[in-house]
Amino acid sequence: MRVYSISQKCVTPNKQPRTDTMEKNPKRKADRTDKADRVGKTGRSEKAGKEGRKGKTARKGTNKARDTAYGRLDKALAVYEKTLEKTPEDATAWAGKAAVFLRHRMYRDSLKAIEKALEIEPENPGYLYEKGFVLLQLNREEDALRVFDRLLEIKPDSDKTWNLKTSVLCRLGQHEKALDASEKALAGNPKLTGAWHAKGSVLSDLGRYEDAIKAYDTALKLKPNLSRTLEGKAFALYSLNRPVEAMIAYDAALKINPDNAKTWVGKGLVHLKLGKSKRALAACSKAISIKPLFPEAWYCKGMALSCLEKNEEALGALERALRLNPDYADAKKALASVNSKLGIDFYEDEEKLEEEKPKVKRSVWTSKKPTSEIMKKFSGPRREKKGKGSEKSIRTGKEQKAGGPNKIVARKRDKKK
């Protein structure tokens, strides 16, 4: 089972907090403390002192409030906004504004700003690169690919652009093209760590795990503390059935970044391969605590619970994984296995019920033939041939006397007269 790149979604805050109310509240508290001090002169000095200290902490709180992420964002944007008020056609100011939004992971706002810069300078390589990068963060791979292709027409030897193009092609499932792009990136700059990592990821996706490990090792020589590269190497080792080495790599990655849910899942799967189900369960539970909507973590938990013979709990975990990702093939297989352990086999039960059902003969009226043909069969010439003889009712199949119900009705009328 491959636990590979999961796209990151950015949640862009729509509203900024009202700093005016945040500043007013502490003042009110301060006013109250002044009153308390006045009361203190009449004999409540201790209480007034405590209230006064509270007022001071409130004022400190306002300074902290001003130093929030939104406060820093406003300060950073203020410089560029002043410039744009005077000269709205300043491309550099728009690009600076886009960079600020990007730093705060406000990708949609960053895209709008960089597009403004490109309206003024459409051939600027730096602006095109930033636009492509932002589109990649927004999971708009096709649009990003077009931007990178345009940038490579202007600057064909841009190793960083080839590197990002590798990531885009990899996401789009075009692995052979991605591998070619990574080679071009490395041809431009053999010491580009990101390109070696990207090459390792592509080779791993292609099932060339030995080559992937070599690429990852080259990246780690250039930059030893790359947790994602260690995680990629660990997966390649796991795929080659080298669980002990894989565990060492996963542990090294977690020392650098202990909050990576994907790495914890990888470690859990290695524990399962080593037959350590309890440790696997602990690792997967840790992954779920970091990222509750991660289907791979729920799959791993279900597998660990199944190994511990907690099949009903395993069933719940696997069902959760499939709710999060209905196309998760490994989770479907695991769920079928747990169902069979619990004696639940829906398909076989349905087949048995079908076999036990008695075969019902079709009525004339439920036949697939058109109604007009059925009526012709039982009316017209046949009745003339039979004459006054007995006739069978179409509906009941019982014989009726000549004349049928119409003559009986007529006799009743005669008697009444």
pLDDT in tens, 339-377: 988 886 544 444 444 454 444 444 434 444 554 554 555
The CATH T-level fold of domain 259-357 is: 1.25.40
pTM: 0.63
Contacts made by residues 142-150, CB under 8 angstroms, sequence distance 24+: 142/172, 144/168, 145/169, 145/172
What does the pLDDT read at residue 11? Answer: 33
- Report pLDDT digits (tens) over 134-170: 999 999 999 999 999 999 999 999 999 999 999 999 9
Q: What is the mean pLDDT of the chain?
A: 78
- The rounded distance, in Å, linking the Cα atoms of 36 and 29 is 11
- The rounded distance, in Å, linking the Cα atoms of 386 and 399 is 13
Count of C-beta atoms within a 10 Å radius of residue 201? 26
Higher pLDDT, 53 or 143: 143
- Report pLDDT digits (tens) over 240-293: 999 999 999 999 999 999 999 999 999 999 999 999 999 999 999 999 999 999
> What six digits make up the tokens of 414?
């005669």
